[in-house]
Amino acid sequence: MKALILVGGFGTRLRPLTLSVPKPLVDFANKPMILHQIEALKAIGVTEVVLAINYQPEVMLNFLKDFEKKLDIRITCSQETEPLGTAGPLALARDKLIDNSGEPFFVLNSDVISEYPLKEMIEFHKSHGGEASIMVTKVDEPSKYGVVVMDGTTGKVEKFVEKPKIFVGNKINAGIYLLNPSVLDRIELKPTSIEKEVFPKIAAEKKLYAMVLPGFWMDIGQPKDYITGLRLYLDSLRKKSSSKLVRGSHIIGNVLVDESAVIGEGCLIGPDVAIGPGCEIEPGVRLSNCTVMRGVRIKKHACISSSIIGWHSTVGRWARIENMTILGEDVHIADEVYSNGGVVLPHKEIKSSILKPEIVM
């Protein structure tokens, strides 16, 4: 079985992290975002993953070579020379996706994090006999999204309504699809939207079905959603009583710590924190709702909340970092500095406080 992951473009919403690596390689809960998806696909028997990409394919492939061997799965790239939207890349990768088996293939948006109930999706797809299956998720504010109007019992999709002014339903496209090869005959090699052009036609022919995603879902393509996604992901680990979560008198709630990280005396960590490999957290540090990536050093009595600390950065003693501060790779915050929502580009040294949310070039 095969799968295509829509990797797309520059990841501007997650800058400055994406100035160092392509977005799918940004760490989420201590491993690159895209690896969460590749592992889930491998677990249900996918043998080849095609990455639809228009930016830095060499970086992606070099990085993923190790994982190809570890996971025993083939990873290839299909490179766009111009942006092709969300459907064009399927036409471009047609020869990689079609084999003689006639089996359906998965398509995933690379920003989506969830419990990936892919096995259940295969069963659902077989049971309805339609041409395409999409995963949908319930949201509190459907007016911000395109809503999928569907039959509650069969899952047959009736129509799509873009940012509805009146309530038509609360289920939105979750960016995970299972498609028969025949869907490729509907897509031309040009910039095309699968959501707005391809799916509505399949729905009009009554061949499109939607499955409601069990568990959590988040599009983690921008910082505040990344932090929310981390909370939901760690919560789902807790529900599975995962051994990955750490416990201890200095831990509050759900916390993930790489085994190579070192944590000093008198720290208070959590809830909803991920600490990456090789990190050094000195005594008396307070961390909550944050990600601390590989090789970071946080000095004594610093306090970090609702922020992302990029690879190999340093936070000085008694510094206070909060309110969606994002430090790019190799940023050094001096002692006693305060950052209120600063977005700091890589390789910077910050010696004075950032009092209001701003970008530091």
Pairing of strands 297-298, 314-315: parallel
Taking the C-alpha atoms of residue 55 and residue 6, their distance in angstroms, rounded to an integer, is 12
Q: What is the DSSP letter of 197?
A: I
Contacts of 218 (CB under 8 A, 6+ apart): 112, 113, 114, 225, 228, 229, 232, 233
3-class SS letters over 98-149:
CCCCCCCEEEEECCEEECCCHHHHHHHHHHHCCCEEEEEEECCCHHHCEEEE
What pTM was estimated for this model as a whole? Answer: 0.87
Confidence of residue 110 (pLDDT cuts 50, 70, 90): confident
pLDDT for 152 equals 83
Do the Cβ atoms of 85 and 56 come closer than 8 Å? no
Average pLDDT over residues 266-291: 96
Q: Which amino acid, one-letter code, is at 129?
A: G
Burial of 122-141, coded b for 16+ CB within 10 Å and e otherwise, reads bebbeebebbbbbbbbeeee
What's the CATH class of domain 225-359? mainly beta
Span of 40-44, 48-52, 90-94 with lowest mean pLDDT: 90-94
Q: Where in the chain is the domain with CATH 3.90.550.10?
A: 2-219
99 φψ region: left (φ > 0), alpha (ψ -120 to 50), beta (else)? beta
What percentage of the chain reaches a pLDDT higher than 90?
52
Which residues sit opposite 161 in a β-bridge?
Answer: 147
**How long a stretch of residues is the chain?**
361
Of 3.30.70.420, 3.30.360.10, 3.90.550.10, 1.20.1740.10, which CATH number belongs to 2-219?
3.90.550.10
Please give the helix or strand (H or E) that residue 96 lies within, else none: helix 94-97
Q: Which amino acid, one-letter code, is at 64?
A: L
Taking the C-alpha atoms of residue 245 and residue 122, their distance in angstroms, rounded to an integer, is 30
Average pLDDT over residues 330-335: 97
Confidence of residue 159 (pLDDT cuts 50, 70, 90): confident
Which tokens in the block code for residue 322? 């909060």
The values of phi and psi at residue 223, to 5°, are: -55, -45
pLDDT for 10 equals 62
Q: Where in the chain is the domain with CATH 2.160.10.10?
A: 225-359
Span of 13-22, 170-179, 256-265, 340-349 with lowest mean pLDDT: 13-22
Which tokens in the block code for residue 131? 């041409």
Confidence of residue 193 (pLDDT cuts 50, 70, 90): confident
Which tokens in the block code for residue 224? 């505040």
- Residue entry with tokens 């090869």: 181
Higher-confidence residue: 115 or 318? 318
Confidence of residue 56 (pLDDT cuts 50, 70, 90): low
Give per-residue pLDDT as tens, 96-107: 888 778 889 999
pLDDT for 12 equals 74
Pairing of strands 314-315, 286-292: unpaired
Per-position DSSP letters for 240-259, written without gaps between them? TT-TTB--STTB-S-EEE-T
Average pLDDT over residues 140-144: 78
Taking the C-alpha atoms of residue 130 and residue 115, their distance in angstroms, rounded to an integer, is 24
